[in-house]
Amino acid sequence: MMDERDLPTREKVLWWIAGVVVIVYALFPVVWIVALSFKTPSDLGSKRFWPTSWVWENYDNILAGDAQELFLSALRNSIGISLIATFISVVLATFAAYAIARLDFPGKRVILTTALAVAIFPVISIVTPLFNLWRNIGLYDTWPGLIIPYLSLTLPISIWTLSAFFRQIPWELEQAAQVDGATTWQAFRKVIVPLAAPGVFTTAIISFFIAWNDFVYGISLTSTERARPVPAALAFFTGASQFEDPAGSIAAAAVIVTIPVVVLVLLFQRRIVSGLTQGAVKG
């Protein structure tokens, strides 16, 4: 990668402009939501970007007020379901990706292409059959009822990213460990897994986002607050009276559910560094 200082001034300015454009484009909706969440219901239609007066009313409403029950249970469901789905998918994907990267077995390509096919398969087309199936076998409106379909979303991408990470780890390291007296399992646990850690974290975060942000499964396969996740719950928000627009509360809830995602990224930013394998080989 080229160092910024090496660029000629004109090019540097262009890069800056491009960067600013991208940032504004990406952050504008977020800032808008934040601004919206601080508006009073009457202020919503004021056609002004910033609130006329900043109020905590919407946050009060969802955390302590009328919508509290709806929101907090949804938040609990979302966190629990997403974490479990992420955990299962990362553990399974680690083994699958390791096998795909290291071993030569028939059907390796089939697994990878199937994973890709599953990933690009439109979610909406399997929701109806899943709805019927889940109702029949009693998974409808339960945590496992969401975790299982979430795995179908998170596993393919996890397998693909992790197998790419595993391929980067020099095979000699594992062979060296075996010569040093390690069993295959010890070599995997003591050498491969620590080196793949950045990849595992990256994958975990991606999986978590996918599960966290899902709406279609969340709204279709749940009916009560037993399992309804936040994105689905937002759709059930109402205003203080039926004539009042719930947009403020929805915006406040959206801000709150974004926070864990931001915190996660900040926490693991240092771990999502590639190049940990540097120094393993060559002089």
SS3 at position 132? helix
Among 70, 139, 177, 232, binds another protein (CB under 8 A): 177
Residue closer to another protein by CB (options 157, 195) is: 195
Q: How far apart (Å, rounded) are the C-alpha atoms in residues 68 and 74?
A: 10
Residue 99 amino acid letter: A
Interacting residues with another protein between 247 and 276 (CB under 8 A): 276
Binding of another protein at residue 194 (CB under 8 A)? Answer: yes
In DSSP notation, 152-171 reads: HHHHHHHHHHHHHHHHHS-H
Q: Which stretch binds another protein (CB under 8 A): 58-66, 70-78, 168-176, 246-254?
A: 168-176
From residue 112, how far is each of 50, 74, 137, 230 by CA, in Å?
A: 48, 34, 30, 32
Question: 122 vs 279, which CB is nearer to another protein?
Answer: 279
Among 8, 29, 106, 181, binds another protein (CB under 8 A): 181
Is residue 277 close enough to count as binding another protein by CB under 8 A? yes
45 binds another protein (CB under 8 A): no
Report the distance separating Cα 169 and Cα 253, nearest Å.
42
CA end-to-end distance (rounded Å), the chain: 21
Task: Pick between residue 102 and residue 135 the one whose CB is nearest to another protein.
Answer: 102
The site for another protein (CB under 8 A) is made up of 170, 172-173, 175-183, 186, 190-191, 194-195, 276-283
